[in-house]
Amino acid sequence: MHEAALELFGERGYARVTAAEVAERAGLTERTFFRHFADKREVLFDGNELGGLLAAAVADAPEGVAPVEAVVAGLEAVAAVFEDRREAVARRARVVEAHPELRERELAKLASWSKALEGVLVGRGLPEPDAMLLAEVSVAVFRVAYRRWLDGGTARELAAIIRETLAGLGGLFAHTAPGPRDLSAARAGAAARRSDR
């Protein structure tokens, strides 16, 4: 169904394709279509297969590994699926990018990944506030790596880009958490600049 939908959306544009047409292209009845999907939009979001894979891989990481390593193992499991379907993933991404309602749905999907990840991390013993932080930031890292992977053509593997993106965090946040004094100095500087104009 996924393949049929991508073909049709690519040929005629997402807005001009009906659920019945997707079903027909896939050689199925409209009734079968609606047994599996609420509407044509949902064909592009596959239940929550990948979110489940992510959570399971994190849960299955060996007990001793650091939480971030468990998350990386989960993101790599998702990356392996994407790598195998690179062409279809790229076509799907183009359709999603082109439609605000699909972009919103994609954000909701990623938010559900983050929620699932948070639950699994708590299950692994990470205290709650850290679990939410690690989950949210990891999904943000995944989004960035995914975007780089799509933009980079076939040159690099997604798993490698995820590791590289994670490694880049350290440098960017090295100057993190300045005390109130540093910030009020920065603010005073900003105010001074504004009054200079």
Query: By the criterion CB under 8 A, which residues form the site for its own copies?
Result: 57, 60-62, 65-69, 72-73, 76, 100, 103-105, 107-108, 111, 129-130, 132-134, 136-137, 139-141, 143-144, 147-148, 163-170, 172-178, 182-183, 186-187, 189-190, 193-194
CB atoms closer than 10 angstroms to residue 192: 9
Which C-beta is closer to its own copies: that of 1 or that of 68? 68
Query: Residue 179 gets which letter from DSSP?
Result: -
Q: Which two tokens stand for residue 53?
A: 């894979």
CB of 152 to its own copies, least distance (A): 10
Residue closer to its own copies (CB basis): 26 or 161: 161
User: d(Cα 104, Cα 108) in Å, to the nearest integer?
Assistant: 6
Closer of 42 and 136 to its own copies (Cβ): 136
100-123 vs 67-84: helix axis angle to the nearest 10? 140
Q: Minimal distance in Å, beta carbon 29 to its own copies? A: 29
CB of 153 to its own copies, least distance (A): 15
- Alpha-carbon span 49 to 45, nearest angstrom: 9
- Residue 148 CB, shortest distance to its own copies, in Å, is 6
Q: How far apart are CA 23 and CA 43, in angstroms?
A: 10
Q: Which residues contact 38 (CB under 8 A, 6 or more apart)?
A: none
Please, what is the minimum distance in Å from the beta carbon of residue 150 to its own copies?
12
Nearer to its own copies, 15 or 107 (CB): 107
User: Of 31 and 197, which has the nearer Cβ to its own copies?
Assistant: 197
Q: How far is CA 41 from CA 22, 24, 26, 117, in A?
A: 11, 16, 16, 24
